[in-house]
Chain A
């Protein structure tokens, strides 16, 4: 069990560019979550996958954000036309069952200049 992994760990991009992050959950976990965390705040829920199905999206997830989980394994989160307000830590978590504890990855720190 290698835990949840995320790539890249850090991303610096210019406003208006597109970025994509990847999350590899714990192998036997079929539930996958994306959260966003800004400095001094707790993580905020963005979206949820059960296997390959995206079952919930937060109102925080504007049209510029899209997430996928093809084949129910790894997941990607894409942000189009990035804005300075998108600067944050993007966290991925996975769990085996709803109600179980979620295990978090190390996060991807996005800085939009």
Chain B
């Protein structure tokens, strides 16, 4: 069964304190791994897609990396506005080929000034 596990569940950082969020996945065949940001009461906002091991994507203070078993979201010198829940999701190759996303439970990040 395809599965995604994120850790830690919650993370508190001081402004400027860099850290990483982990996403471990088990999937029959990885089509793509997606990172989203979600603010309270809102829908997820797309950040990155990674397709193959070794791939990296960057956007401002965020950098996503991918291996065959996990992905990391590195946050460099975070600011309070980076506070949100970060969701990881996988899309698997399969007979249905619908592209549905399988999400982890998310990591809630709080950055204190």
Point out residues on A near B: beta carbons under 8 Å. 4, 6, 31, 33, 35, 40-45, 48, 50, 55-56, 91, 93, 95, 98-107, 109
Contacts and interface: CB of A to CB of B under 8 A. Distances in A.
The 10 closest A-B pairs by CB, nearest first: A42-B103, A104-B43, A98-B99, A45-B100, A48-B98, A56-B98, A101-B46, A104-B44, A107-B43, A106-B43
A42 B43 CA distance: 11
12 contacts: A41-B105, A42-B87, A42-B104, A43-B44, A43-B89, A45-B100, A56-B96, A91-B43, A100-B49, A101-B46, A107-B41, A109-B41
Interface of B: 4, 31-32, 34, 36, 41-46, 49, 87, 89, 91, 96-106
Grouping DSSP codes into helix (H, G, I), strand (E, B) and loop, the A interface class, with mixed when no group exceeds half, is: strand
A65 to B, nearest CB: 16
Contacts, number: 70
B42 A43 contact: no
Contacts of A6: 43
A91 B42 CA distance: 9
A95 B87 contact: no
A99 B91 contact: yes
A99 B100 CA distance: 9
A43 B32 contact: no
B90 to A, nearest CB: 11
Contacts of B106: 40-42
Nearest to A91: B43
Contacts of B31: 99
A37 B107 CA distance: 15
Nearest to A6: B43
Contact of A48 (B4, B32, B44, B100): B100
